[in-house]
Amino acid sequence: MSSVNRRDFLRMTGTTLIGMTLGGVALRTNAQEVLSADDPTAKALNYTAKSTKPDAKCGNCMYIQGSDGKQQRPCAIFPGKLVDVEGWCSAWVKRPG
């Protein structure tokens, strides 16, 4: 390997490491945490992790996201947070179908 090629290789490796590091930060930023009832938006929308309404809960709300079968799932109203499928908030709208 000539010295120029070695320099190019080292530069490329450094760029790759920076990309991997930034990618890791991006992945951590996307990590979702369970929505707390103390969250200001949750309070404003009266979110509770246990719905008291017989036919209305996060699990049948049109804003729930993610896969069926998980107890905690993303919600379009609370970006970056997970809501309980048994929960409820005042933004609830029945999921069509």
Task: Please say which residue, 14 or 79, places its beta carbon nearer to ligand SF4.
Answer: 79
User: Is position 82 an interface residue for ligand SF4 (rule: CB under 6 A)?
Assistant: no
User: Is position 74 an interface residue for ligand SF4 (rule: CB under 6 A)?
Assistant: no
Residues 25-54, interacting with ligand SF4 (CB under 6 A):
47
Near ligand SF4 by CB under 6 A, which window of 6-14, 21-29, 61-69? 61-69
Near ligand SF4 by CB under 6 A, which window of 4-12, 13-21, 24-32, 86-94? 86-94
What DSSP letter does each residue of the chain carry, written as one string?
--HHHHHHHHHHHHHHHHHHHHHHHHHHHH--EEPPTTSHHHHHTT-BSS--STT--GGGBTTB-S-TT-SEEEETTEEEEEEETT-B-TT--BPP-
